[in-house]
Amino acid sequence: MNYDLSQIPERAIKPRQKGLTMVMDKGLSLRQVEDFLEVSSPYTDIVKLGWATSYVTPNLKEKLAIYKSAGIPVYFGGTLFEAFYIRNQFEDYLRVLDKFGMEYAEVSDGSVEMESDVKCEFIHRLSKHVTVLSEVGSKDEAKIIPPYKWIKLMRMELEAGAWKVIGEAREGGNVGLFRSSGEVRQGLVEEILTEIPEENIIWEAPQKSQQVWFVKLVGANVNVGNIAPNEVISLETIRLGLRGDTFDHFLDK
Amino acid sequence: MNYDLSQIPERAIKPRQKGLTMVMDKGLSLRQVEDFLEVSSPYTDIVKLGWATSYVTPNLKEKLAIYKSAGIPVYFGGTLFEAFYIRNQFEDYLRVLDKFGMEYAEVSDGSVEMESDVKCEFIHRLSKHVTVLSEVGSKDEAKIIPPYKWIKLMRMELEAGAWKVIGEAREGGNVGLFRSSGEVRQGLVEEILTEIPEENIIWEAPQKSQQVWFVKLVGANVNVGNIAPNEVISLETIRLGLRGDTFDHFLDK
Amino acid sequence: MNYDLSQIPERAIKPRQKGLTMVMDKGLSLRQVEDFLEVSSPYTDIVKLGWATSYVTPNLKEKLAIYKSAGIPVYFGGTLFEAFYIRNQFEDYLRVLDKFGMEYAEVSDGSVEMESDVKCEFIHRLSKHVTVLSEVGSKDEAKIIPPYKWIKLMRMELEAGAWKVIGEAREGGNVGLFRSSGEVRQGLVEEILTEIPEENIIWEAPQKSQQVWFVKLVGANVNVGNIAPNEVISLETIRLGLRGDTFDHFLDK
């Protein structure tokens, strides 16, 4: 840190087991990746190449190499897994992971119908090759999953071999964990946390108010995701009680 | 593309006659233009220097040279034409186009009152020097133009020599084609499409939900505009059915 | 300017006494700072490193050097002052300002309770070392300060040694001067301007509609702040009547 302040909550340092920040890259140039890393590398634990953007971005191999040399794992968004799945091309997906040397992968069912045991089978199979993140929650805002089912799915997917389960919110932060207004489904999150250890969950929380809410509920070292590259510094100050929104939260009363 | 997926809609390739993406540059630095091109050049057909930003950006000549060497045509936003027009400086405008070697120009009346035959006369005159885009629709959200008049104006302007007509939406996507909430004037668009060939229209659609709506209505190769530089990759995935919003749209049922 | 247009309002040039643009840097990389300066240096009068972002950004010294060589003063956001104050570390804050060679500082009470005479004492003390900006208004949207009190506080703080007083709005533009919808508290601003000279106030106005409102009320050379780096060009066109929103405002009727 650039100077000393007392009463700053203790922050996990890399490689972190909790307090993870997952960042969404939806098409950065190589220089933009370097710029991002210059500022945010110490605070970034893992990067997602959003949904199937990796299909169209011309600089994929070079980009993966830059993240690799910075020691930051990268994975393709779950929608890419679903795109291969819905086309009966899962074997091709394995070859793509292999071709690009991916060490992490996401399994999700945000845009497809998939029985939970089928999903768990994919998690299980993939977990033999890569570290798996699995995502719970639909991208369809009309589709409300009750809390007991979130919990059941998360537990099953962790048991099937997922390293972390992700709570869905999309890039906009307006589905899954959140109402279409972006407001947190507070009761849902609290109920999940009674059953699933917080360190096993990454909460997608792209909006500032959502990040603030999770830091206040879980603490400085909550795992959050879908953070825009230029919002990682802001998030870090929210974690540390150094932005107005959490200014009082970590101070001795 | 970085890997193979089946059931991807056929995308026009450059130089495209339809499926155009028009991007708005509202003051990028030279390096930012290079970064943008590295990622989005294959998917970008034409760039607009938003409204009259070209008046104040210090790097204009160098920027035009970069776009030129990438083979991407550039034009000044229609508000610049209107700014010269309202000051009785149209002859000066021609000299500016000449001085900067512009090969495209926009004629619009979003902020001024202009009779349609006067506008068509400008389109006609300019079309002898440059390729003309003409824009229909007001920047004033209180000003509602009925569908039959949109159609009449578009037809007149195409006949006067416009290469494409643009449906107005501003940078925000909240006027012209859209309600102030950003919602599409669906009946308006559908009625226009019964009379004007889709390939002759560029729909300004800066918001993701608007892009999704047009891709679903017209197809992967709809012409859309006012796309932010860092949203071109996202748009391309929407066109290809590779983002949640259009995930099912192009799949065999 | 890149070409000539008549009826453009006269704009103050640097070093400006009025018509200031204060830009918020919330974690730019060094190259991003250079890119910003390439485009916006002529129109940027002062840069704020937002709230306490300077605590976590790894490139602080080098960044300050770049701004310095461009002749643009920089200061730490007021929340940093408050973070030192609430921890009884004000003397440490002075040492931080000294260590980084800061020539400007902000005093605010957006997130803490502070008696106005205490605040003025801090302004007074700091003004012996640096040029002081002081901020009026709470970050808490539930806390409404009546106009007469805004005026009283602004006057006291200017008398205590503040170079400018800042009207609070946050990065979002939804507190202080504005309703939570972002709408201007019009009566408040107009009443303040009957008592405090406009050149002594910097209005935080991060949203375009807010910038438009202030330019229409005060003129091209209004002082505004919390401008995002990539919105400075847009703001400059709004000041000059070269964007749709102020297109008519400066024309001879």
Contact C27 A230 (CB under 8 A): yes
Predicted local distance difference test score (pLDDT) of residue B223: 98
Contact C251 B52 (CB under 8 A): no
CA distances from A27 to A55, B229, B237, B246 (A): 11, 10, 11, 19
Give yes or no for A248 touching C (CB within 8 A): yes
Q: Which residues contact A65 (CB under 8 A, 6 or more apart)?
A: none
Predicted local distance difference test score (pLDDT) of residue B225: 98
Distance CA C233, CA C227 (A): 10
Q: Are B10 and A26 in contact (CB under 8 A)?
A: no
Residue B138, token pair as written in the block: 């007001």
Of C91, C115, C173, give the one whose Cα is nearest residue C139.
Answer: C173
| DSSP-derived pairing of the beta strands A46-49 and C46-49 | unpaired
CA distances from A103 to A67, A114, A125, A168, B3 (A): 12, 24, 14, 22, 18
Distance CA B131, CA C191 (A): 51
Asked whether the CA dihedral A50, A53, A57, A63 is positive or negative, the reply is: positive
HSE-up (13 A, CA, CB side) for residue C70 = 25
Residue A71 sits at the vertex; the CA angle it makes with A131 and A229, to the nearest 5 degrees, is 90
Give yes or no for A42 touching C (CB within 8 A): yes
Name the E strands within A178-223. Answer: 201-204
Radius of gyration of chain C (CA): 18
Q: Are A247 and C111 in contact (CB under 8 A)?
A: yes
Q: Are A32 and A230 in contact (CB under 8 A)?
A: no
Predicted local distance difference test score (pLDDT) of residue B141: 82
> In this structure, what DSSP letter does residue A177 have?
T
pLDDT in tens, B133-151: 999 988 888 888 999 999 9
Burial A26-42 (b: 16+ CB within 10 A, else e): bbbbebbbebbbbbbbe
Of B251, B193, B245, B187, give the one whose Cα is nearest residue B216.
Answer: B245
Give yes or no for A242 touching C (CB within 8 A): yes
Contact A89 B233 (CB under 8 A): no
Distance CA C19, CA A177 (A): 44
| DSSP-derived pairing of the beta strands B21-25 and B46-49 | parallel
Distance CA B132, CA B81 (A): 12
Predicted local distance difference test score (pLDDT) of residue C125: 98
Residue B199 sits at the vertex; the CA angle it makes with B196 and B201, to the nearest 5 degrees, is 65
Q: pLDDT tens track of chain C, all 253 residues?
A: 999 999 999 999 999 999 999 999 999 999 999 999 999 999 999 999 999 999 999 999 999 999 999 999 999 999 999 999 999 999 999 999 999 999 999 999 999 999 999 999 999 999 999 999 999 988 888 888 999 999 999 999 999 999 999 999 998 989 899 999 999 999 999 999 999 999 999 999 999 999 999 999 999 999 999 999 999 999 999 999 999 999 999 998 7
In chain B, what residues touch A32 (CB-CB under 8 Å)?
35
pLDDT in tens, B2-16: 999 999 999 999 999
Q: Could you give phi then psi for residue A97, rounded to 5 degrees? A: -55, -40
Minimal-distance CA residue of chain B relative to C5: B84
Give yes or no for C32 touching A (CB within 8 A): yes
Surface-to-core class of residue C91, CB atoms within 10 Å of its CB (0-12 exposed, 13-18 middle, 19+ buried): exposed
Residue C147, token pair as written in the block: 């106009």
pLDDT in tens, A5-63: 999 999 999 999 999 999 999 999 999 999 999 999 999 999 999 999 999 999 999 99
Contact B79 C242 (CB under 8 A): yes
Q: Are B168 and B141 in contact (CB under 8 A)?
A: no
Residue C18, token pair as written in the block: 């009025």
Distance CA C1, CA A139 (A): 48
Query: Can you tell me the mean pLDDT for B180-208?
Result: 95
- In the predicted model, is pLDDT for residue B253 greater than 80? no
Minimum-distance CB partner of A83 among B39, B232, B242: B242
Distance CA B142, CA B176 (A): 10
Residue B158, token pair as written in the block: 């195409």
pLDDT in tens, C196-244: 999 999 999 999 999 999 999 999 999 999 999 999 999 999 999 999 9
Distance CA A133, CA A124 (A): 11
Residue B58 C-alpha, separation from nearest chain A C-alpha, in angstroms: 22
In chain A, what residues touch C84 (CB-CB under 8 Å)?
5
Low-confidence ranges of chain A (pLDDT < 50): none
Contact A111 B240 (CB under 8 A): no
Helix and strand numbers, DSSP H then E, in chain A: 9, 8
Question: What residues pair up with A227 in beta bridges, in sequence order?
Answer: A23
Helix and strand numbers, DSSP H then E, in chain C: 9, 8
Distance CA B134, CA B142 (A): 21
Give yes or no for A13 touching C (CB within 8 A): no
Predicted local distance difference test score (pLDDT) of residue B138: 85
Contact C56 A35 (CB under 8 A): no
Q: Are C33 and C62 in contact (CB under 8 A)?
A: no
Contact A38 C29 (CB under 8 A): yes
* Neighbouring C-beta atoms of residue B145, cutoff 10 Å: 16
What phi-psi label fits residue B101: left (phi over 0), alpha (psi between -120 and 50 degrees) or beta?
A: left
* Neighbouring C-beta atoms of residue C187, cutoff 10 Å: 9
Of A44, A25, A68, A93, give the one whose Cα is nearest residue B39.
Answer: A25
Give yes or no for C69 touching B (CB within 8 A): no
Residue B227 C-alpha, separation from nearest chain A C-alpha, in angstroms: 14
Of C70, C80, C71, give the one whose Cα is nearest residue C105.
Answer: C80
Longest dimension (CA), chain C: 58
Supply the mean pLDDT for chain C. Answer: 96
Distance CA C75, CA C131 (A): 10
Q: Which domains does chain B have, with CATH numbers?
A: 21-246 (3.20.20.70)
DSSP class per residue in C182-221: S-B-HHHHHHHHHHS-GGGEEEE--SHHHHHHHHHHH-TT
The order of strands in the sheet holding C74-76 is C74-76, C46-49, C21-25, C224-227, C201-204, C162-167, C131-136, C104-107
Minimum-distance CB partner of A89 among B5, B36, B240: B5
Distance CA B30, CA B20 (A): 23
Of A200, A212, A202, A222, give the one whose Cα is nearest residue A242.
Answer: A212
Give yes or no for A51 touching B (CB within 8 A): yes
Of B91, A116, A127, give the one whose Cα is nearest residue C5.
Answer: B91
Contact B89 C236 (CB under 8 A): no
Residue B142, token pair as written in the block: 């209180």
Give yes or no for A27 touching B (CB within 8 A): yes
Distance CA A108, CA A78 (A): 5
